[in-house]
């Protein structure tokens, strides 16, 4: 441009210089938003009120807060589901989980076993698949929780490497209390509620039959009694065996398709995940990369390394949050070290709100803080779905800006697909919207006029943000029954459920205006809101339109797909050797 200017300045004058300079600036800006590196950081069960940038004054999160200072803070950022598995499916595909079959009609809404046959279908298009096609190096480090195998223990049909990731280091399922000795069991309440009574009835029936047989009132074939006793005994042995070895069978660490630590050790686990993330970045400084780092923090079982244990003001939960913040800082530091900060979009969020019912056996609070918002994980009250949303990209998105428009974790899909110069799929509905115009201040309103909030596979609530209004209407068709009634969660069952006697249906539906009542304290009525019936009419029409866009798909969270199948069990040695190996610590 400089030489061209010297050659033509006498003939063309200043006008040409202005045109050339504008073209040069435009060219630089276009290049800057094309194929950036992408780092997506996802916490597990983190409350929006746990971070300094969202108002917390006692937990120390300087590195996560730095993302807010140098980027955009979304204050109405929403998880597509209040549970891990469906939320992560929506995040990866940009689609409501009901569209991919990743929403349950049964009580259990997530995968609990490594040898379940359900998972994210291979027909689904993830952002990692599309970015890989565009030449990106892709890695998922941390928690997966979207299935593993379909028909055999090595088909890996649902594995991260089958969904567009070049590299995987992490947990195929999730972190549970059962994974850490001494932390109790997530199954205990369920076993007490659902199995104790049937076992008692079976025992009474068997004893009664034996007595009747003994006194001669009824002739029961001895062989039948024997088979009955054998069946009960085998069932109990299998159940006891499974839960006794649960940690070995379901809590393990993988690198790509290979198990490298079974059972999982929590020692320096966050440091290991962080080191893997940093090494992936350093291996790909000369090509665009996608790094999805999904922390185990702060899902229970809680853990923290010696450098963080006992250092926060909020017990082990606070220690875990502060250790995660340390990890985020190291990821940001390695970007700076290699001059990649201005070439990298960094996103931080949580898969859903804090699990408020998490209380340890010793009475210590192991769940997070959802700020002013009602409820938590497993509910579509704001505390369950309103999550941190931080995006930093120096020189491209606004620094220090706060946006109070409805956005979704599904929006990441179209945002980064477009940035990678890939094409959005045209053969399916994509429910997310490109965030970049909002992040750059080119538009002031979200493209989400409506957002549909599902409790498992059941449409629970609808959010409506009219284009000509500041109001954000939220309509509930049913709400969970908190237990105890005056509490902020379902403490008797550990999580809230989505159907039957666990919920209360509302006719007419409950209506809130979140712009005036973000705490969802006072439902509106025809007497307090003149447009009550008009608003419900608009929402019902939106539901009809949305429902017509849905198509029947196989249910990946059916009981058949959820249950443990021994032939799908991954084991690095053998079941007779308790599935033990440890190449992480130098063991066999």
Catalytic-residue membership of 145: yes
- Do 342 and 335 contact (CB within 8 A), yes or no? no
CA angle centred on 409, ends 460 and 449, rounded to 5°: 60
d(CA 368, CA 302): 11
How many C-beta atoms lie closer than 10 Å to residue 552's C-beta? 6
d(CA 120, CA 106): 17
* Residue whose C-alpha is closest to residue 476's, from 504, 435, 499: 504
Catalytic-residue membership of 579: no
- Do 348 and 339 contact (CB within 8 A), yes or no? no
Report residue 17 as tokens: 């210089």
Q: In what order do the strands lie in the sheet with 167-171?
A: 401-403, 72-74, 389-392, 344-350, 37-43, 289-294, 137-143, 167-171, 253-255, 258-262, 581-582
Alpha-carbon radius of gyration of the chain: 26
How many helices (H) and strands (E) the chain has is answered by 17, 17
Residue whose entry in the numeric block shows the structure tokens 């799929």 = 425
Question: Which residue of the set 7, 53, 77, 145 is catalytic?
Answer: 145
Question: Which residue of the set 53, 77, 84, 163 is catalytic?
Answer: 84
Beta-strand pair 37-43/389-392: unpaired
Give the contacts of 183 (CB within 8 A, at least 6 positions apart).
177, 300, 301, 302, 360
Alpha carbon 472 to its chain's center: 24
Residue whose entry in the numeric block shows the structure tokens 């003149």 = 530
Q: In what order do the strands lie in the sheet with 458-464?
A: 450-455, 458-464, 473-480, 503-513
d(CA 520, CA 372): 10
Main-chain dihedrals φ then ψ at residue 479, nearest 5 degrees? -135, 150
Dihedral sign for Cα atoms in the order 147, 150, 154, 158: negative
Upstream peptide bond of 580 is cis (omega within 30 degrees of 0): no
Looking at the DSSP bridge assignments, the partners of residue 292 are 40, 140
d(CA 470, CA 13): 50
Residues taking part in catalysis: 84, 145
């Amino acid at each position: 441009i400089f030489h061209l200017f010297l050659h033509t300045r006498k003939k063309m004058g200043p006008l040409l210089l202005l045109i050339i300079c504008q073209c040069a600036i435009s060219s630089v800006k276009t290049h800057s938003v094309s194929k950036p590196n992408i780092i997506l950081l996802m916490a597990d069960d983190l409350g929006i009120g746990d971070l300094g940038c969202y108002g917390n004054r006692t937990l120390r999160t300087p590195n996560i807060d730095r993302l807010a200072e140098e980027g955009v803070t979304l204050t109405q950022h929403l998880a597509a589901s209040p549970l891990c598995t469906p939320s992560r499916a929506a995040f990866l595909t940009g689609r409501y989980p009901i569209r991919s079959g990743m929403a349950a009609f049964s009580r259990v809404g997530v995968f609990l076993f490594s040898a379940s046959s359900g998972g994210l279908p291979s027909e689904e298009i993830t952002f990692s698949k599309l970015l890989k096609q565009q030449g990106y190096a892709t890695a998922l480090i941390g928690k997966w929780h979207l299935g593993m195998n379909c028909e055999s223990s090595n088909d890996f049909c649902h594995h991260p490497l089958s969904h567009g990731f070049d590299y995987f280091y992490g947990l195929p399922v999730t972190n549970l209390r059962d994974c850490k000795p001494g932390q109790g069991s997530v199954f205990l309440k369920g076993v007490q509620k659902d199995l104790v009574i049937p076992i008692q009835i079976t025992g009474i029936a068997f004893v009664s039959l034996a007595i009747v047989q003994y006194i001669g009132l009824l002739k029961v074939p001895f062989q039948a009694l024997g088979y009955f006793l054998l069946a009960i005994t085998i069932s109990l042995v299998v159940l006891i065996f499974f839960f006794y070895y649960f940690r070995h069978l379901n809590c393990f660490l993988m690198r790509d398709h290979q198990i490298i630590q079974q059972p999982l050790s929590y020692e320096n686990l966050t440091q290991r995940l962080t080191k893997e993330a940093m090494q992936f970045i350093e291996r790909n400084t000369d090509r665009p990369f996608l790094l999805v780092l999904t922390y185990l923090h702060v899902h229970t079982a809680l853990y923290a390394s010696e450098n963080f244990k006992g250092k926060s003001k909020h017990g082990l939960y606070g220690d875990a949050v502060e250790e995660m913040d340390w990890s985020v800082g190291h990821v940001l530091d390695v970007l700076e070290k290699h001059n990649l900060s201005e070439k990298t979009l960094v996103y931080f969020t949580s898969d859903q709100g804090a699990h408020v019912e998490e209380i340890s056996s010793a009475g210590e609070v192991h769940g997070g803080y959802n700020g002013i918002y009602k409820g938590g994980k497993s509910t579509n009250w704001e505390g369950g779905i309103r999550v941190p949303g931080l995006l930093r990209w120096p020189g491209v998105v606004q620094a220090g800006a706060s946006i109070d428009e409805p956005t979704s974790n599904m929006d990441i899909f179209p945002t980064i697909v477009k940035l990678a110069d890939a094409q959005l799929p045209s053969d399916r509905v994509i429910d997310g919207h490109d965030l970049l115009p909002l992040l750059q201040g080119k538009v002031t309103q979200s493209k989400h006029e409506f957002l549909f909030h599902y409790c498992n596979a059941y449409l629970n609530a609808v959010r409506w943000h009219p284009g000509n209004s500041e109001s954000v209407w939220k309509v509930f068709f049913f709400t969970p029954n908190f237990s105890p009634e005056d509490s902020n969660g379902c403490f008797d069952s550990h999580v809230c459920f989505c159907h039957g006697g666990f919920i209360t249906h509302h006719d007419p539906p409950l209506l809130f205006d979140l712009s005036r009542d973000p705490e969802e304290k006072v439902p509106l009525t025809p007497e307090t809101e003149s447009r009550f019936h008009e608003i419900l009419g608009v929402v019902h029409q939106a539901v009809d339109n949305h429902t017509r866009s849905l198509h029947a798909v196989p249910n990946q969270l059916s009981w058949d797909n959820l249950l443990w199948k021994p032939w799908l069990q991954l084991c690095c040695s053998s079941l007779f050797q308790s599935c033990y190996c440890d190449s992480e610590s130098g063991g066999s």
